[in-house]
């Protein structure tokens, strides 16, 4: 059963990320947590998240803004460790509630951003406060529920042009995903079989990426993201109700 779950996650993650630029971990993590023990769900999906980030980064190589990464990553990694420790030690009911809150929050903020839109801030608008707050929060949520990318993008999107934003966000997620693997392994959340399953499902990531690229631009990104956010919110509410 595990191989089937990881296969579906691998295909779906790469498809959603390529077609719509949306990290799918925030969907698959909570959905799996409905049916599996939360630590097992997060551990199973962590290698897939990392491999999909590596594949995505190849398309945006060296287009990131390095000063941005220096501001965002230190607090993001600190928050990631804290979130990973919580995931490793908290009782399952508390984990389900935490993942549910993260999922609902993601959906609400995502829809709000779609409605409001975002504009690039004036050059030099790099006050340290938002980087610390959003970086740390994104790291904590990444450690618990694979959904920190939203908080990172909230910091990056208003400050960078499109190409630099996508590349910087992708690089941030790749580093966070790598350190999440290390944290999960150290804390016994990640098991060797999860890594093996992720590697075996790598061809499905290529297939999902190919399908996503084929459909990119043919489907309504706004409508899809809205529907996906509604599904994420429903999953989060189901976790909170358990």
At residue 36, does pLDDT exceed 60? yes
At residue 121, does pLDDT exceed 50? no
For residues 209-231, give the mean pLDDT.
68
Q: Which of 135-139, 156-160, 167-171, 206-210 has the lowest mean pLDDT?
A: 206-210
C-beta separation of 83 from 95 below 8 A: no
Contacts of 238 (CB under 8 A, 6+ apart): 34, 100
Helix (H) or strand (E) run with residue 68 in it: helix 66-89
Q: How much is the pLDDT for 88?
A: 94
pLDDT band at 122 (very low <50, low <70, confident <90, very high): very low
Q: How much is the pLDDT for 188?
A: 93
At residue 64, does pLDDT exceed 50? yes
pLDDT band at 20 (very low <50, low <70, confident <90, very high): low
CB burial string 52-87: b at 16+ within 10 A, e below = bbbbbbeebeeebbeebbebbbebbbebbbbbbbeb
| Count of alpha carbons within 13 angstroms of residue 160, beta-carbon side | 21
Q: What is the pLDDT of residues 158-206, one digit of tens each?
A: 778 877 887 888 899 899 999 999 999 999 999 888 888 777 877 887 7
Q: Which of 36-50, 60-74, 221-235 has the lowest mean pLDDT?
A: 221-235
């Amino acid at each position: 059963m595990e191989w089937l779950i990881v296969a579906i996650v691998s295909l779906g993650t790469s498809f959603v990320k390529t077609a719509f630029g949306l990290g799918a971990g925030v969907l698959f993590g909570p959905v799996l947590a409905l049916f599996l023990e939360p630590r097992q769900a997060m551990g199973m999906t962590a290698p897939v998240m990392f491999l999909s980030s590596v594949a995505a980064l190849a398309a945006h190589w060296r287009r990131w803004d390095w000063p941005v990464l220096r501001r965002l990553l230190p607090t993001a990694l600190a928050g990631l460790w804290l979130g990973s420790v919580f995931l490793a030690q908290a009782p399952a009911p508390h984990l389900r509630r935490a993942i549910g809150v993260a999922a609902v929050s993601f959906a609400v903020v995502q829809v709000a951003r779609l409605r409001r839109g975002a504009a690039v801030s004036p050059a030099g608008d790099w006050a340290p406060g938002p980087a610390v707050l959003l970086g740390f929060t994104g790291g904590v949520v990444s450690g618990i529920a694979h959904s920190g990318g939203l908080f990172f993008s909230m910091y990056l999107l208003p400050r960078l042009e499109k190409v630099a934003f996508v590349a910087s966000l992708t690089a941030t997620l790749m580093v966070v995903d790598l350190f999440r693997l290390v944290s999960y392994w150290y804390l016994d959340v990640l098991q060797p079989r999860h890594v093996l399953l992720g590697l075996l499902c790598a061809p499905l990531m290529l297939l999902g990426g190919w399908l996503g690229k084929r459909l990119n631009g043919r489907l309504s990104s706004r409508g899809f993201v809205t529907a996906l956010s509604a599904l994420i919110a429903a999953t989060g509410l189901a976790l909170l109700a358990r």
